[in-house]
Structure 1
Amino acid sequence: MNLKKWMWTTITVQNDERGLLFRDGSYIKPLMPGTYRLSPFSKERVTILGVTKPFAVPGKDVRLFLHDSLLLEELDIVQVADHEYVLHYEDGNFAGLLTAGTYAFWNVLRKHEYIRVDTRAPELPDTIEASILPKLSAYYQVFEVASHETGALFYNNRMIRELAPGKYYFWKGPVSVQVQTVDLRQQQMDMTGQEIMTEDKVTLRLNFVCQYRIVDPLRVLQIKSFQEQLYIQLQLILREYVGSLKLDDLLKMKQEIAAYVLTRLNGKSEEYGVQFMSAGLKDIVLPGDIKDILNTVLLAEKKAQANLITRREEIASTRSLLNTAKLMDENQTLFRLKELEFLEKICDKIGSISLTGGGNLLEQLNSLLGEKTPGKGA
């Protein structure tokens, strides 16, 4: 009798465990907490599972146990389709994310909750708390729209809606998600060294700049190579304007180029979805030979202006002398004062003067000066 007892196999199932009885590898029934004895000669085996862990039997598919109604009373069976994710919570805390497949969890000691999401609607629902997002990083993608931007959301290359500044989360699933952003700040377009020919066949280079702001982002996204097309439009307008003027006219009217170009660009605003704020011609670069010619012309003009000013000064001086002479003829006192002024100037340059005889003072002084002039006889 003691020998028979010794040969029995004793199995103990704890309160936080459940046993699964197998015979010849096939599942028979569950074993509740307690002690069980199995004959070593029988083909029965017991697998012990902890109820605090997910239900999983090594080497067995969970679906092999779904026919047992007694076992199912203590299990939560969760089936996840290919287009779904299931967020699993235990006692209110996030436990993990379930992908496509069949899962079973013991419901004896812990309370389980499941949030099912359809990845065919890619955007993460607001019910998902931000605190668990780091644990889901392998299953979603994030897009950011800066404060100075607007975004456009596309599902499978089809635009869904416009996005305001913020951060957006989307499941990695069957739907392809793209977000394109557009900068709404004032931007600048520079045209440097653009070669353009004038009406009189002079090739020059222009440096031009304009500022603009996007007002219709969705329209901009519909234009392929938006920046390039905007640049070409500016180029064509400049060519049209410069090509209709001769070089001399262009240099005289260069201040009007900016106003003309800005008006023409704003005529295209609705077409491109932008508002042009300002435009300006930075400089005109002339060919070397044309520059030399213009410098020569400028120098000649300045010399002519200088000669004209000199002649005007000479004429004014002569008129002043003529007016003085007329006054002296009409007024003897003024004539005497002029004599004294003339004598004062002579005295500043001569040490002493001796005068003899009578006669006009100026005549005697002129005679003295004539005698002292070098190269004349006494």
Structure 2
Amino acid sequence: MFSKVIIKNDERGLLFRNGSYIKHLQPGTYRFAPFTDHTVIVQNVMQPLSVPNKDIRLFMQDEQLVKQLTIVDVQDYEYVLHYVDGKFVSLLRAGVYAFWNIWQKHECLRVDIRNPEIAPEVDLAILPKLHGCCQIVEVGAHESGMLFYNNVLQKELTPGKYYFWKGPTTVVVKIQDLRQQQLDMTGQEIMTEDKVTLRLNFVCQYKIVNPLKALEIKSFEDQVYIVLQLILREYVGTLKLDDLLKMKQEIATFVLARLNEKSEHYGVQFQAAGLKDIILPGDIKDILNTVLLAEKKAQANIITRREETASTRSLLNTAKLMDENQTLYRLKELEFLEKICEKIGTISLTGGGNLLEQLNSLLSVRNGA
């Protein structure tokens, strides 16, 4: 009895005899005599050609079969973007692939991953589907990126988003912040020329202007800190404490000028510097407070004596005017009499006459005396 095999319109058959490939079969019905070792492997033309334990290259000798296939041979250094009817389907890695082109149109875009940067012809919309095959690097608006391939500098990246293939080339982007930055030095102990140990709180602002130069310096911020520390020691170590306290406003000018002498070496621009605090030892602080208190007391005594002298001189001038002018003297008496009356609640008089006459008589008697 014959064995029957039916191949549908969306199928193709691969005929084997005694395990060896013979030919491909078009849609139709096929009968095979019994006791013959014929095997038909049916393939769905909507799926890639795949035969278990058989290499695809085995079927490429069949010219008629090859006409119905799109063969893709992917090298080790390649990725192939596979499109079906214009739509992205999959990413093909190294290997050989065969797709039926009977009902579908297959297109392939090859990319050489030895050059990691993703070319413009690759639609970025498909990248979310390529898990593990690409990496994304973002450079902010205030940043600059240094692009390295296998630790070799390639170029500087301006702000934006960049896409790279993952492959044999290692891609690293080192980001540098171009905004103004601040370096704080707190509690730095420094000895003055007269052997007084004090602590300084100092601050400086800088901005990276040459990212590559700054990147070449290991532990960039630590090295800038050391430079600032040495400059402060150089300045403070040549001054006595009293001179330092008088000239503390000049520290910032000196330090900023010295820092900018080294700015090109570090690839930065130092924009500002300033002394925040001078912290003195406890015993020195007590001595200075005592000196300050004595100075203020002396100043207060001088001011008090000056005011007393001015008051006495004014009183003397008033007395001279009153001696020379009886009318002024009389007005002054009335003024004091008014002040006395303001402080008295009741007045008791003995004898006749009214109040004004008696007060007037008192003043007249005093004048006569």
CA distance in 1: counterparts of 2:267 and 2:368, whole angstroms:
93
Look up the match of 2:270. Answer: 276
In structure 2, relative to structure 1, the CA distance for the partners of 1:332 and 1:20 (3 Å cut) is closer
Residue 286 (structure 1) aligned with residue 280 (structure 2): yes
In structure 2, relative to structure 1, the CA distance for the partners of 1:303 and 1:41 (3 Å cut) is same
Give the CA deviation at 1:270: 1.4
Residue 145 (structure 1) aligned with residue 139 (structure 2): yes
- Equivalent AA in structure 2 for residue 113 of structure 1: E
The partner residue of 2:174 within 150, 173, 180 is: 180
For 1:68-107, what aligned pairs fall within 5 Å after superposition? 68-107=62-101
In structure 2, relative to structure 1, the CA distance for the partners of 1:336 and 1:95 (3 Å cut) is closer
CA distance in 1: counterparts of 2:216 and 2:28, whole angstroms:
72
1:131-182 alpha-carbon deviations (Å, 9 max, x no partner): 2111112211111111211111100001101111111111110000000111
Question: For the Cα contact (< 8 Å) 1:339–1:362, is it kept in 2?
Answer: no
Give the CA deviation at 1:319: 2.9
Cα RMSD between the aligned structures?
2.5
Look up the match of 2:17. Answer: 23
CA distance in 2: counterparts of 1:203 and 1:86, whole angstroms:
70
CA distance in 2: counterparts of 1:116 and 1:46, whole angstroms:
34
Look up the match of 1:132. Answer: 126
In structure 2, relative to structure 1, the CA distance for the partners of 1:49 and 1:312 (3 Å cut) is same
Query: Aligned to 2:285, what secondary structure does the other structure show?
Result: helix
- Equivalent AA in structure 2 for residue 272 of structure 1: Y
- Percent identity reads 68
In structure 2, relative to structure 1, the CA distance for the partners of 1:65 and 1:342 (3 Å cut) is closer
- Equivalent AA in structure 2 for residue 74 of structure 1: Q
CA distance in 1: counterparts of 2:205 and 2:368, whole angstroms:
81
Residue 120 (structure 1) aligned with residue 108 (structure 2): no
Residue 67 (structure 1) aligned with residue 61 (structure 2): yes
- Equivalent AA in structure 1 for residue 154 of structure 2: I
Residue 263 (structure 1) aligned with residue 257 (structure 2): yes
For 1:330-349, what aligned pairs fall within 5 Å after superposition? none
CA distance in 1: counterparts of 2:42 and 2:334, whole angstroms:
143
The partner residue of 2:199 within 195, 205, 215 is: 205
Give the CA deviation at 1:246: 0.9
In structure 2, relative to structure 1, the CA distance for the partners of 1:362 and 1:122 (3 Å cut) is same
Question: For the Cα contact (< 8 Å) 1:339–1:361, is it kept in 2?
Answer: no
The partner residue of 1:316 within 310, 316, 322 is: 310
Query: Aligned to 2:117, what secondary structure does the other structure show?
Result: coil
1:108-128 alpha-carbon deviations (Å, 9 max, x no partner): 211111100000000111111
Query: Aligned to 2:256, what secondary structure does the other structure show?
Result: helix
Count residues with an aligned counterpart: 356
1:177-198 alpha-carbon deviations (Å, 9 max, x no partner): 0001111111111111111111
The partner residue of 2:4 within 2, 10, 13 is: 10
In structure 2, relative to structure 1, the CA distance for the partners of 1:315 and 1:55 (3 Å cut) is same
Residue 248 (structure 1) aligned with residue 254 (structure 2): no
CA distance in 1: counterparts of 2:227 and 2:292, whole angstroms:
35
- Equivalent AA in structure 2 for residue 30 of structure 1: H
Gaps of 5+ in 1: 1-6, 365-378
Look up the match of 1:4. Answer: none
In structure 2, relative to structure 1, the CA distance for the partners of 1:325 and 1:97 (3 Å cut) is same
- Equivalent AA in structure 1 for residue 114 of structure 2: R
Gaps of 5+ in 2: 350-357
Residue 171 (structure 1) aligned with residue 165 (structure 2): yes
Look up the match of 2:50. Answer: 56
CA distance in 1: counterparts of 2:279 and 2:348, whole angstroms:
66
Query: Aligned to 2:185, what secondary structure does the other structure show?
Result: strand
Look up the match of 1:45. Answer: 39
Normalised by the length of structure 1, the TM-score is 0.86
CA distance in 1: counterparts of 2:93 and 2:335, whole angstroms:
119
Normalised by the length of structure 2, the TM-score is 0.88
Residue 236 (structure 1) aligned with residue 230 (structure 2): yes
Question: For the Cα contact (< 8 Å) 1:211–1:278, is it kept in 2?
Answer: yes
CA distance in 1: counterparts of 2:34 and 2:316, whole angstroms:
153
Residue 196 (structure 1) aligned with residue 190 (structure 2): yes
The partner residue of 1:299 within 293, 296, 313 is: 293
In structure 2, relative to structure 1, the CA distance for the partners of 1:315 and 1:10 (3 Å cut) is same
- Equivalent AA in structure 2 for residue 184 of structure 1: L
1:191-220 alpha-carbon deviations (Å, 9 max, x no partner): 111111111111111111122211111111
Question: For the Cα contact (< 8 Å) 1:150–1:181, is it kept in 2?
Answer: yes
- Equivalent AA in structure 1 for residue 70 of structure 2: D
Give the CA deviation at 1:335: 6.2
Give the CA deviation at 1:129: 1.2
